Amino acid sequence: MVARRLATLEPIHRATQDQGFTQRAGQTLEIAIFRALLSLPPSIPFFGGFPDLADHDDDRLYTKRDPPNFVSARSSVGKLDFLLHHPEAGLVGVEAKNIREWLYPHRDEVAQLLLKCCQLDAVPVLIARRIHFLTGRVFRTCGIVTHEMFTQLYPAADIDLANQAKHKNLLGYHDIRVGNAPDQRLLKFTLVNLPKILPAARRDFDHAKGPLLE
């Protein structure tokens, strides 16, 4: 019975871990954020994006233009997904993590975001499926902004895998959503909430970034 059940679930789980799929799934959330950022006012320019979204479907990777990692004589160990410039808060670094795991404070993804943002003096913004309560609580005191998607995005080309993975009698990943269009929560966060909270986040981040780099 157990062996038969594993034989059913293992191929589905293995498909969700395939490198080609995970790379395209990672882009799916990045593209959703990019589409939301396109509606920001001209006073908040951003860097990073996808120039060829209209050229082909999402069954293969799109071209990604990364933001610079050398700004005003500051350099970071790696590139962020997006860089914004807010008129009051200055540089803002955005990272997207379209993964199933919850993000805890000790996760490497969190450490890398903080390192890059501290090196560039950019207010960190983390967007992910689920961010643990402790991560959010610690982050808020340090001026680090978080947004939980509550969904994991799958490329439209993988709708069959999405249906299998979220089926309640299979993997049960009920929060999967197909496609790279931003939902209303992401649009509200990007266009309404984020611009409002960034000035206060900058003040808190300026106080915290020294200890964060230690």
pLDDT digits (tens, 9 = 90+) for 106-127: 899 999 999 999 999 999 999 9
**Quick one: pLDDT at residue 213?**
59
- Contact in structure between 201 and 143 (CB atoms under 8 Å): yes
**Quick one: pLDDT at residue 131?**
93
- Tell me how crowded residue 3 is: count the other CB atoms within 10 A of its CB: 7
**Kind of pairing, strands 176-178 and 152-154?**
parallel
**Quick one: pLDDT at residue 106?**
86
* Confidence tier at 214 by pLDDT (50, 70, 90): low
Residue 80 token pair: 């962020």
Spell out the alpha helix ranges (H) of the chain: 2-17, 19-37, 108-120, 133-141, 159-166, 184-188, 194-213
CA 186 to CA 32: how far, in whole Å?
8
CA dist list (Å): 140 to 11, 25, 99, 149, 200 = 40, 28, 22, 17, 10
Spell out the alpha helix ranges (H) of 80-183: 108-120, 133-141, 159-166
CA 134 to CA 132: how far, in whole Å?
5
CA 68 to chain centre: 18
CA 82 to CA 48: how far, in whole Å?
5
- pLDDT surpassing 60 at residue 102: yes
Question: What SS3 state is found at 102?
Answer: coil
CA 161 to CA 149: how far, in whole Å?
20
pTM greater than 0.85: yes
Residue 84, strand partner residues? 46, 92
**Quick one: pLDDT at residue 166?**
96
* Confidence tier at 14 by pLDDT (50, 70, 90): very high
Residue 90, strand partner residues? 86
